[in-house]
Amino acid sequence: MVVISGFVPHNRPAKPRKSKLLKQTVSPAAGSETAAAAVEPRSEVPAPEQLCLLARLPGEIRRMIFSSLDYHSLIRLSATNRFFHRTVVPQTLADPLDMVQFVLKAVNFPQHWPKEKPTKDHPGNFECYTCFRVRSPDLFDTNQARHAIIDEHGYVVKGREISPYSKVMGVFLRRFCIDCGLLTGLHAPADSLTTRTGLEFWVCKCRKLRKRPDDIQCSVCHATCPFRPRKHDMQVASKVPKALAPA
């Protein structure tokens, strides 16, 4: 078994779908210190005379400058204006080790600590080692997968997709949010999710979250809620051999 810190598997669309890679839909980060930009390009483009001197530089020179910045500086740069919010994606420019160190430091900020309230306790925010952000507890599954099976191309594969001739590898996973689990395929259709705040969801065939028990059927793919506990590929077999069964 191989241990990979910050493992980010590729995103493979579901077989019935003919569209391209799924787009990640994320909400703003829990704190301004960890608000990394990962958005789609906007249609409006400012005029050249309205841009700052750094934005007027050629793209190759800007990438050389951005490559020397740390993760925290890239986050602040992406929040400067619309141009850098659209062009600067800190997760793709920063060093992975630097992102891990920053997330470990940011999760200890006071605004992310657990809070005791008269009506309901707040468990605090958690860090995601896939998108490298500190996010709200209602975006994390309490029973997330601890390991996954990937093929030689880095795609997450399920038990039925593994053939005797395929080259697969088991990897251990760190904490990841539900959005990253849906994007990378770690949360598969028919999975039942329970957030850190007690909310219950299930995943339909179009890889969207549906609330239980309000949304029994998806209006897009017409999948129905399975109402059964989630199953992982590397889970212990339900049937125990008689030789190993307790007396």
3-state secondary structure of 115: strand
Q: What is the pLDDT of residues 202-212, one digit of tens each?
A: 999 999 999 98
Least confident among 37-51, 93-107, 230-244: 230-244
Is the pLDDT confidence value at 38 over 50?
A: no
Q: Which of 197, 232, 196, 192 is nearest to 213 (CA)?
A: 192
Element containing residue 171 per DSSP (H, E): strand 168-172
pTM (2 d.p.): 0.67
pLDDT (0 to 100) of residue 228: 53
Q: What is the mean pLDDT of residues 74-78?
A: 93
Question: Residue 161 — very low, low, confident or very high, per pLDDT cuts 50/70/90?
Answer: low
pLDDT (0 to 100) of residue 44: 52
Least confident among 10-14, 48-52, 162-166: 10-14
Cis before residue 213, ω within 30 degrees of 0? yes
Question: Residue 10 — very low, low, confident or very high, per pLDDT cuts 50/70/90?
Answer: low
pLDDT (0 to 100) of residue 127: 95
Q: What is the domain partition of the chain in residue ranges?
A: 2-187
Distances in Å between the Cα of 157 and the Cα atoms of 20, 68, 147, 152, 237 are 18, 36, 12, 10, 18
Q: Best-predicted range by mean pLDDT among 18-27, 38-47, 93-102? A: 93-102
Q: What is the mean pLDDT of residues 167-185?
A: 91
Contacts of 231-239 with C-beta under 8 Å, sequence gap 24+, read: 232/145, 232/147, 233/148, 233/149, 233/157, 233/158, 233/159, 234/147, 234/148, 234/149, 234/170
Is the pLDDT confidence value at 34 over 70?
A: no
Is the pLDDT confidence value at 47 over 80?
A: no
Is the pLDDT confidence value at 236 over 50?
A: no
Percentage of residues in the chain with pLDDT exceeding 90?
Answer: 37
Identify which has the larger pLDDT, 60 or 42. 60
Least confident among 32-36, 94-98, 147-151: 32-36
Least confident among 24-28, 145-149, 179-183, 219-223: 24-28
